[in-house]
Structure 1
Amino acid sequence: MIIELHLLQSFPVSNLNRDDTGQPKTATFGGHLRGRISSQSLKRSARMLFQQYGLDTSEVGVRTKRLLDNVVDSLVREGRDRDQARVVATAALQQLGFGLDAAKGLTQYLLYVSGEAVGHLTGYCQRDWDTLTAFAAAKTNAQQAKVKVDKTRQADARRILDASRAADIALFGRMIADNKDLNVDAASQVAHAVSTHVVVTEFDFYTAVDDLKPHDESGADMIGTIDFNTACYYRYANVDTTQLAHNLPGDTDLVQRTTKAWLHAFINAVPGGKQNSMAARTMPDTLLGVVRERGAWNLANAFLKPVIDNDLMAGSTRRLMDHFTKLTGFYGTSQIHTATAASVSGDLPEHDGVRIVRSVDEFASAVLSSAEA
């Protein structure tokens, strides 16, 4: 089954996901400038919520370049000398085929590993301590050394970087350029969120005053500007539960809990950009969940022509539901199992084939039970 999640979410003054100049990200869509939140930002926001919705720390992964330092710390806790532990851990990463800048203590690129990777790599170092010590001594340029990974080492690398119980790696996939055997095909696709209407970037001019300034002095002690916009976004994500089950083999319970965590996390995901300054902590207003046997429909073209209604949420909701109805009328519904919708404001028109529910709990229950049927 494939679960599709369509959300309409309005944010007040905010800069949730900024570009390299500090401005809120934008995109030209339908010939008009729209607000945008990148899929990467939304995925990270969702990942940070997985443990709040039923997943254990051991069931989620970690993105890091800092395996070396963490393994060294682990070896030291197990009684090894720190300097020698660093030599051995460096040799282990190199022997397993990972490029490493040993001087900085970083792998050459950001690795996506399970929460158990540090423990597995620590065990590998302890087991092959003498061999790794000899390997390190034989290298004249340890920082740049790379070796051809034999079958035995490939098996060790697969065990250390095993992701068969890492829910977020199963959802979002993983690419390891140095060892393609460790790649994971993503079970979930996430779109960039785009505003349903035209946006204009605005600027907040701010000043700050020194609290200890003498009373006879006036003027600001710091001035600046912060870019922001206000926008109603269309958000879309899907998850293929068949691919998810393939990525998490033999654990039906974990697959079900991961699917539930995915749904709730994406409904509640809000990027953290400038939140301390703007507190744009709003929730989605309109939710549409579609469970289908195959295929996938991003409904962004409902907003190819910008919404201009005074009530942007109501106008956007009508556009979304009307576009879904037109697609089902044109392409048919043979691939669609169920469609469920809910709205905080209650501004949800009736549509054939769409079940209307009145709360997020009812919505989640209907979507998840349909996907398991």
Structure 2
Amino acid sequence: MSGNVQIMKKEDAIRISKEKAHLLPLVEIHMLHTVAGALLNRDFNNRHKVLHYGGTLRGRFTSQAVLHDIRFGMETEQDVHTKYLPEMVKNAVKEKAAEDEKVLQTGLKLVSQVFSSDKENKKKKDADVEVANDAKVLKTEQIIDVDRFTVDAYAETIIAMAKEVNAGAEKLQDAAKGVLKAMTTSSKDRPLSDVTALFARMSSDQTYSTVISPLMVSHAFTIDPYANDYDDYTAVDDYLLKSGIIVTDDDGCEINSGAAHMGSADISANTYYRYCSICQTILFENLCVGKPFDAVDELIEKTYKLTAYFAKQFISSLPSAKQTRNFAKTMPDAVYIDKGISMPAISAANIFEKAVVPASGKSVCDIGVERLQEFMDKSVRGCFVDRELTGQYWMSDRYDAPKNVSAIKYKDIDVIVRP
């Protein structure tokens, strides 16, 4: 409870999300996307990532290669994926305690105590020898999604404990333990930023809780066999040519015309199958935690807005590797979207277990679309499913929508995520 405003705890958010489940359909996106002449996602050897599937080598790119760009577009300096939570807390303490130098200095000492990874420093018993090393950059061991609510909670708790230390009520090390205990106790009930609510986080630290993700995103893979080519390239030292300097080899032969550097990278052209689902019930639950009860209707609208935003970004995004010289962004060939209340998510990956090869005048994508449309029926009427869709939608400039499936455009996604 904050003043007269009642705040939802985690258990409240879970209960209310179940009550509102009929307003929050699961949304699935299936895509076929043809890309030519690109190296979308590389391994440590600078080669295209691959996998064996159905006895055939396929190209792939990871879900994170797409999700990073989407998340980065939503992040701010206070809502960000980082190891630098301690630095963010330190800056917040400086801002909030700027008018009280004594509290500020004690607060900075507490920041060092709470986040220091120096075991010897933590074992010291004499609080008087502890100093605030403002020049030392502290980091967490794990990279996590940090939000402004966590930063503010840390800063406010540290400042409150700093005042206790200055008043002689607490020793510095005991105050640091008090900060950690308070942050652990409040972690599951603290509000989350939109970024964390959508992309979630896995935490190994009890002071900021693990958040379940509403997203399920598959690695994209090629529906046709992967056969790479090698993009051999050279770099010429233009300074030698412009300045007229003559460079010779050991035999006195001019070598200015050669390459100053040579390299090689994979390049390929394939049609990818991509999949994701957005569980709006979980997203709504994440958004509710730490928010007022009277904001429920507003949070439902925010859930629709974030779902539509992510869906649009997912459809229009590709990995950004090597795009300045291997620009690969094209429009998807076909996008199938469905939705349903309290239904399980189902990928269409196994319909491409047998690699697609062009045949009878049909391209890889032509045949891929036929298979995807077969899946659209089996995902509802197949012998392994028990779910009811409340909407089926088709987006494509190349292929007509199947019978009884609504043809939509990109801008319509804002509407179809609703029940």
User: Secondary structure at 1:212's aligned position in 2?
Assistant: helix
2:411 matched to which residue of 1?
Answer: 361
Spell out the pairing of 1:1-373 with structure 2 (5 A cutoff): 1-50=25-74, 57=76, 61-77=79-95, 79=98, 86-93=108-115, 105-131=138-164, 138=173, 152-155=182-185, 157=187, 162=190, 164-179=191-206, 182-214=209-241, 215=244, 216=246, 217-249=256-288, 250=296, 251-293=299-341, 294-309=343-358, 311-331=363-383, 334-345=387-398, 347-348=399-400, 350-351=402-403, 353-357=404-408, 359-362=409-412, 364-365=413-414, 367-368=416-417, 372-373=418-419
Question: Would the aligned equivalents of 1:49 and 1:265 in 2 still touch at CA under 8 Å?
Answer: no
Deviations 1:221-272 (Å, cap 9, x if unpaired)?
A: 1111122222211110001111111111132232121112121111122211
Percent of residue pairs identical: 23
User: Secondary structure at 2:331's aligned position in 1?
Assistant: coil
Q: Displacement of 1:92 after TM fit?
A: 3.5
Structure 2 unmatched ranges of 5 or more: 1-24, 123-132, 247-255, 289-295
Instruction: Please report the TM-score for the alignment, with normalisation by the length of structure 2.
Output: 0.73
Matches of 1:190 and 1:255 in 2, distance apart?
18
Q: Displacement of 1:132 after TM fit?
A: 6.7
Q: Displacement of 1:213 after TM fit?
A: 0.4
Instruction: Assess, with a 3 A threshold, how the Cα gap between structure 1 residues 366 and 76 changes in structure 2: closer, same or farther.
Output: closer
Question: Would the aligned equivalents of 2:149 and 2:193 in 1 still touch at CA under 8 Å?
Answer: no
Instruction: Assess, with a 3 A threshold, how the Cα gap between structure 1 residues 9 and 273 changes in structure 2: closer, same or farther.
Output: same
Higher deviation after alignment, 305-314 or 34-43? 305-314
Deviations 1:142-178 (Å, cap 9, x if unpaired)?
A: xxxx96987534235557xx3x342232233222112
Computed over aligned residues only, the root mean square deviation of the Cα atoms, in angstroms, reads 3.2
Q: Displacement of 1:11 after TM fit?
A: 1.4
What amino acid is the match of 2:346? W
- Which structure's CA Rg is the greater one? 2
Matches of 1:247 and 1:311 in 2, distance apart?
43
Instruction: Assess, with a 3 A threshold, how the Cα gap between structure 1 residues 316 and 154 changes in structure 2: closer, same or farther.
Output: same
Higher deviation after alignment, 85-94 or 332-341? 85-94
Matches of 1:366 and 1:115 in 2, distance apart?
30
Matches of 2:410 and 2:324 in 1, distance apart?
27
Give aligned pairs, total.
Answer: 346
Matches of 1:222 and 1:202 in 2, distance apart?
20
What amino acid is the match of 2:30? H
Question: Would the aligned equivalents of 1:14 and 1:229 in 2 still touch at CA under 8 Å?
Answer: yes
What amino acid is the match of 1:295? P
Deviations 1:259-299 (Å, cap 9, x if unpaired)?
A: 12121111122211111221112222211000122112101
